[in-house]
Amino acid sequence: LHVTGDGKVGGSTEDTRLRFNTLCFWLFGSNDRPALDVTVTISRQDLSGISPEQNMVNYFQTMKQRMLDDATRSPGAVGAPEPAAGLGDEAFFVLRPGTETVQLLVREDNAAVYLQYVFERTNEKDPAVLLAKLRQMQPGLRSIVPDVLDDLR
């Protein structure tokens, strides 16, 4: 992924009885544009009696819809998610060539991992070239998820 150094903790860490949520990110060298964002969300007990696992299924579906809605509104949108078989209980990629972004959302048990990789800005305008570039990043993003999920066990 060409991201080096220690990640930085984002400002959206939440730790309550219901949920733990934290964001880490890595920058492109001296650039202030994040190269990689990783958000981990863990569902805990729910006061309505819903299990943490079901609560995470509901959260995952909401996040998936939100990601797809955002992707269809972005330049060069790709509306359909691409399944990411073999990761967690369910997972998918969203490729956004217009913003040079690839996103991955994975759910396993009561946890979700969201990764977003944004390329350094280029002058490339050909959607096919951009899409191929985004697909080349999928294995790198996939490789991060097992380590993150393992740390949660």
What does the pLDDT look like over 18-47, one tens digit per residue? 677 777 766 665 555 558 888 888 888 766
**Which residues are 105's β-sheet partners?**
92, 114
Q: Which residues contact 119 (CB under 8 A, 6 or more apart)?
A: 100, 101, 133
146/134 Cα distance (integer angstroms): 20
Per-residue tokens: 87: 């990761």
Of 122 and 37, which is predicted with more confidence?
37
The letter for the amino acid at 100 is E
**Euclidean distance between CA atoms 109 and 132, whole angstroms:** 32
What confidence score (pLDDT) does residue 57 get? 93
> What pLDDT is attached to residue 85?
92
Residue 60 has pLDDT above 90, yes or no: yes
